[in-house]
Amino acid sequence: MCGIAGIWNLDGSPVAAESIDRFTDSLAHRGPDGRGTWHDAMAGIALGHRRLAILDLSDDGRQPMSYSEQRYWITYNGEIYNFLELRSELEGKGFQFRSQSDTEVILAAYQHWGPAMLARFNGMWAFAIYDREKRELFLARDRFGIKPLFYTLGKSRFAFASELKAFRRLDGFTMSMDRECAHAFLQNGFSVEGTARTIIHGVRRLQSGYYGIVKGGQFTRHRWWCTLDHLVDAPTSLEKQAEEFQRLFYDSVRLRMRSDVPIGTCLSGGFDSTSVVCAMADLGRNAIEARKAKKWQQAFIMTFPGCENDESEQAEEVVRFAGVNGNFFPVSEDHALADLDRVLFDFDDLYINLPTALWLIYKAMRHHRVIVSLDGHGADELMGAYKQIDYLLLHDAPSWERAPLENLRRLRRYFHLLPESLRPRGIFQTIRRAALISMWHHPHLQGFKQNLKHVRRGMFGANDLILSRDGKAPLSEEFETVGGRDPLPEDWGPSNRELYKMFHSTLLPTILRSFDRMSMAHGIEVRMPFMDWRLVCYVMSLPDESKIGDGVTKRVAREAMKGRIPESIRSSKVKIGFNSPLPNWLGGPLREWAYELARKSSVGHDLVNAKELRKRLDAHARGQPWDWSASERVWSCLHLLWFEQNFFKQ
């Protein structure tokens, strides 16, 4: 895992050494183990690399790296987990290698297969390969966009880098906020990351599953991956489906335990991270594997004492079950303001929540000299974990007219499963809650849903904080998300259709961005077993009821992990996100910071209604309680204001 950068002066003028040095070193946090640059003065191109050494720690693994008598040069960020198998195949075709790295395997694969090599890779990547013979630059990003890649193209220059903040150090580039993109973010915090647009004017994102070619001063993009083209014939019984899920998942973990440095995991206490750490424990003790990390036993747990998102009790149970070392780090109100500007700067973009908790856990991991983390990202979006218990119990309910007793049974079960603090008090509140969730989720009452949306919008005032951009140019085609128009199979149910968009276009791309920036701020590589392309294609091929059914989400995964993780966690219906306790902090240590930030914003701000924002903050200061929904709406505006006032300072 590394930071990559490059500059190509399209008029052929040499790239100044200090220019590529400054551009590259803006990414030093992504690669604290070394740096390198390469220049071709005749072509006017230079590549830069900041190294995080994971595979082949020797100087043979340094980048930029060349191959085939220096015809090809690469700067690369990521890991190809099946590089040993690919290396063996290429050696059988006569290719030779001087290093033990996966980087050299990519170069040999490019020489042999060209862009078709991408479909052979199992991993995560963003890289650029320059072909000196063709005078062509090839850039590629992995299937699901785990690793980032940004670029800017002008009349006389093409430049690329791993993060937006790097462009602050690109000579001659003027940093300014793309206000159309900022407005899209305020409307929907998950609407931008899957598109080609970024929050920086003039900087574009190479989208997931795409490669690009720069040649003759032109840049062309090509979509090389579509999950729908790789669906499989899955077993029909849940038992057989779970057997195959378990096989694929364990093989995914096995590949991701290949490392020449210590590895660990971030453990929340939920199903996903528990499954990862327990699979690591099984494989770590029993599997014989080339290049398997010798040190894998560390689990890192953030706790939130006194907050509703604290899962320390569950994490302790997992640590005992898996027999790993648990490192617990309590997050308190003191962390809310500590390093706040650093956290937000490292984040590199905008989000609906304060990412301090993520930043802190990877900081702790680096402090303990654990460099690689196997985490549970992707499972929620793949198998519907964001569905709450009211949806799970009512989405497939029979009509009230035909089966009133069955509907009453489901409602009774819903109230029974609610935490005591969330249960309605008295018969009136109970009837009111039952009516609302029925109108929202019951399949035979969907006519009420649109009306409820208007009611909720009126109750929460979702748009009061966002100023209208009436009269501005409509959103361009560059706001088209990856997979947004893919023709989904006709036999797919509503859950599969929703999850496909969530996984490829909206929610997951945004979450992947957040974890990449917060982990790489401390030079930590995050690997994601649930996002192995084989497992993704398999799960996408399963019907709705294999993911959401029998009152649970992740149904096939839960069946697959039976007996392999603590039963209390396997069967739990509680979903708790890993976030900073924003409602607690906005009502406490962040109160004055938030108000001062809102006060600094001009009355004539064109995106945020600063007057309404201060009004909201005043209401909460007078005792109106914060909840997650209200805090995320306000935080989106606060984050944008901070970003505008601080990120563009050179």
Tens of pLDDT along 165-204? Answer: 999 999 999 999 999 999 999 999 999 999 999 999 999 9
> Would you state the pLDDT for residue 269?
87
Q: Are the C-beta atoms of 6 and 48 separated by less than 8 Å? A: yes
Output DSSP code: residue 294: S
> Would you state the pLDDT for residue 469?
72
- Domain residue ranges of the chain, discontinuous segments joined by +: 2-225, 239-384+482-570, 582-646
Residues forming beta bridges with residue 214, ordered by sequence position = 137, 219
The mean pLDDT of 258-279, rounded to a whole number, is 95
Mean confidence (pLDDT) of the chain? 90
Per residue in 308-366, pLDDT (tens digit) is 777 888 999 999 999 999 999 999 889 999 999 999 999 999 999 999 999 999 999 99
Q: Are the C-beta atoms of 121 and 80 separated by less than 8 Å? A: yes
Domain range 2-225, its CATH number among 1.10.420.10, 1.10.1510.10, 3.60.40.10, 3.60.20.10: 3.60.20.10
Q: pTM here?
A: 0.91
Nearest to 99 by CA among 116, 115, 120, 84: 84
Q: Is the pLDDT of residue 462 over 70?
A: no
Q: Give the 3-state secondary structure of residue 66.
A: strand
Rounded Cα distance, 317 and 299, in Å:
12
Q: Is the pLDDT of residue 460 over 60?
A: no
**Superfamily name and number for 239-384+482-570:** HUPs (3.40.50.620)
Q: Is the pLDDT of residue 60 over 80?
A: yes
Q: Is the pLDDT of residue 305 over 80?
A: yes
C-alpha of 346 from chain center: 15
Q: Are the C-beta atoms of 89 and 62 separated by less than 8 Å? A: no
The mean pLDDT of 515-543, rounded to a whole number, is 98
> Would you state the pLDDT for residue 459?
40
Same fold? 2-225, 239-384+482-570 = no
Nearest to 60 by CA among 2, 96, 99, 107: 99
Q: Are the C-beta atoms of 259 and 291 separated by less than 8 Å? A: yes
Token output for 333: 């109100």
Token output for 162: 């791993």
Confidence of residue 447 (pLDDT cuts 50, 70, 90): low
> Would you state the pLDDT for residue 580?
87
Residues forming beta bridges with residue 301, ordered by sequence position = 328
Q: Are the C-beta atoms of 145 and 124 separated by less than 8 Å? A: no
The number of beta carbons lying within 10 Å of the beta carbon of residue 213 is: 18
C-alpha of 354 from chain center: 15
> Would you state the pLDDT for residue 456?
47
> Would you state the pLDDT for residue 516?
97
Per residue in 385-443, pLDDT (tens digit) is 776 666 666 667 788 778 888 778 777 777 776 666 567 777 877 878 778 777 777 77
Rounded Cα distance, 608 and 595, in Å:
14
Rounded Cα distance, 109 and 116, in Å:
9
Q: Is the pLDDT of residue 461 over 90?
A: no
Rounded Cα distance, 575 and 411, in Å:
19
Cα→Cα distances 471→202, 252, 426, 468, 510, Å = 22, 50, 50, 9, 29
> Would you state the pLDDT for residue 452?
53
Angle (deg, nearest 10), helices 533-540 and 238-256: 160
Output the DSSP codes for 111-144: HHHGGGGGGG--EEEEEEEEETTTTEEEEEE-TT
Q: Is the pLDDT of residue 546 over 90?
A: yes
Token output for 405: 């007793």
Q: Are the C-beta atoms of 515 and 358 separated by less than 8 Å? A: yes
> Would you state the pLDDT for residue 549?
82
Q: Are the C-beta atoms of 298 and 325 separated by less than 8 Å? A: yes
> Would you state the pLDDT for residue 650?
60
Q: Are the C-beta atoms of 156 and 177 separated by less than 8 Å? A: no
